[in-house]
Amino acid sequence: MSTITLDRPLSWQDAAAVADGAEFALTQATWQRLAHGRAIVEAIVNRGLLAYGVNTGVGALCNVLVDRPQQRQLSRNIIMSHAVGVGSPLSVGETRAIMVAAINNYAHGRSGVRPTLVEQMLALLAHDCIPEVPSLGSVGYISHMAHIALVLIGEGFATYQGRRLTGGQALVAIGREPLVLEAKEGLSLVNGSPCVTGLASLALARASRLADWADVIAAMTFENLRGQPVAFDAVSLSLRASPGMQEVGGRLRALLDGSAILAAATGRQTQDPLSLRAVPHVHGAVRDAMDTIGTTINLELASFTDNPAVMGTPEAPRVYSQAHAVAPGIGLAMDQLGIAVAELASMAERRIDRLVNPLVSGLPPFLAADSGVASGFMIAQYTAASLVSRNRRLASPASLDGGITSALQEDHLTHATPAALKAHDILDNAEHILAIELLAATQAYDLQEGGLARASGTDRFYQSVRALLPPYRDDRPLSGDIVLARSILRQKPQ
């Protein structure tokens, strides 16, 4: 497994790699930035300078002063009162992604947390000892990081080597002791945008992988339905200025090169339906959107998003109270990603329908080997249609939800983290839809008449599915095949 070393702000690919299990380390210069930021906070505490969350309450209590003896208690209390998540836990990958984004944020050296706090988080990642983080309850940030912070101080729960342990037990298991939080650390642990940034990095990695599979599977369906590959001609596609479309067109041409099935169907009709001939346009538009989204995530990772920011020197400290924890840009990007993935899946469902519909497919009804006795993929298309409708509901923008919290102090909410969470939900549904298309396209090859050869590009993927699953003959629950096909899609196509 590779090691990601943080010497400058991470990219979304870096964050996703650590979420997937890559090792994570900081350079000496990064540790020095952390120490410098902490020295500034200690100077603020020692000199009694007014600073939000250091010696004041938080939220609507920002004007309530907290004297020095109570500042440790303030930090601990913030974690306890902000750990209000509900619902099923985030996945290990999602929680790891949030943790690496949080460390990236602290590494700017503007939060003023102690290096030992970052060491504690790195130890959890290194040992794959992952805090239990309820998925629901965030209007933008706060609750997810609070549950991670619980484990740092020996509270809450974590999963380690397949066991659910208390935070205290988990720390003992990896040779660490609970932290006693100092001034400002409680606030810094729940502030900023690492929740949405980590989740967004992971979502974009998933979407990128799924987009690659969508091209492969669409090519398989196109070949089965004997499409007209002239629609993917490089000269024709060059008329539209879309880098994503050119990339998809090139992939489709390579996948379908040498297909005897398509050669035999040349000129059979003037043009194919849009779910076939517009694959480069729709898949390409999704890729173009993902490029823009990736830039937005990288900008967020390059930004300091805690509040307040500590700057200057210990001799001349400066404190900036601002709204950097609000993340409208990445929230909008996650809404866009959800819409893009939903459209990718919607087009896949239309192709599934064409594969199973004998009125347009030229194949046995519903891809059943013995129509009438067997239903084949009839009801699998129902599942795809249901998930497309669910995605349509989920794709409604979270950014517009609004709301008011903290006694009018937090009176504009961007719902960035919920936008990222629902993007993951949409990705779950899209993976199932494309898994169904992969199975249907593979089955359709088995039912082709004439014995014509597949393209070598598509044949490779047909063979990989058939190495795991025999043709479907209504002889087993089809849901099991869908689960297995989805597991294939969780790996990058080779």
Question: Measuring CA to CA, which residue among 311, 304, 305 is closest to residue 51?
Answer: 311
Geometric angle at alpha carbon 192, from 186 and 193, rounded to 5°: 135
**462 is a catalytic site residue:** no
Decide: helix, strand or coil at residue 158.
strand
State both tokens at 449: 């008449």
Question: Measuring CA to CA, which residue among 143, 184, 190, 192 is closest to residue 56?
Answer: 184
Q: Are 425 and 394 in contact (CB under 8 A)?
A: yes
Residue type, 346: S
HEC secondary structure over 328-381: HHHHHHHHHHHHHHHHHHHHHHHHHHHHHCHHHHCCCHHHCCCECCECCCHHHH
State both tokens at 199: 């989740």
Bridge partners of 320, per DSSP, are 309
The total number of residues written for the chain in this structure: 494
Question: Measuring CA to CA, which residue among 210, 247, 234, 201 is closest to residue 103?
Answer: 201
DSSP one-letter code for 401: -
**Catalytic residue set:** 52
